[in-house]
Amino acid sequence: DVQLVESGGDLVQPGGSLRLSCEASGFSFSNYAMTWVRQAPGKGLEWVSTISDSGGRTFYADSVEGRFTISRDNSKNTLFLQMNSLRAEDTAIYYCAKGEWELPTYFDYWGQGTLVTVSS
């Protein structure tokens, strides 16, 4: 079975940094692009960032461009999101998701999410 398990969410002050991880299992991780999607409390879903299967191509939403960096370690089946210069509006549950293709795509598997709270 496909499993995606996020970790790293925490309470952080505005301007701070955080690194999220997503451990994948049950599929050939290195063959698929991976994505981070976030959901602010009580709100809808927002695409954040996608990385190609090899890691050679990365894509970002305008709202996080220049502040967030997506990466992956295919030898450890793990996806990362480095989040810098965090703002209150970055507060959300962050999900990692497996896409059928690179971009744009739909997502056939999602993790349970990890909560990031940006507050002083």
Partner 1 sequence: EIVLTQSPGTLSLSPGERATLSCRASQIVGSSYLAWYQQKPGQAPRLLIYGASSRATDIPDRFSGSGSGTDFTLSISRLEPEDFAVYFCQQYGNSPLTFGGGTKVEIK
Q: Would you list the DSSP string of 37-64?
A: EEE-TTS-EEEEEEE-SSS--EEE-TTT
Interacting residue with partner 1 among 18, 33, 83, 111 (CB under 8 A): 111
Yes or no: say if 66 and 75 are a contact pair by the CB < 8 Å rule: no
Determine the interface stretch with partner 1 among 7-15, 16-24, 77-85, 105-113 (rule: CB under 8 A).
105-113
Rounded distance between C-alpha atoms, residue 56 and residue 17, angstroms: 24
Q: Between 3 and 13, whose beta carbon lies closer to partner 1?
A: 3
Q: Between 13 and 25, whose beta carbon lies closer to partner 1?
A: 25
Amino acid identity at 108: D
Q: Which residues bind partner 1 (CB under 8 A)?
A: 44-47, 59, 61, 95, 100, 103-113
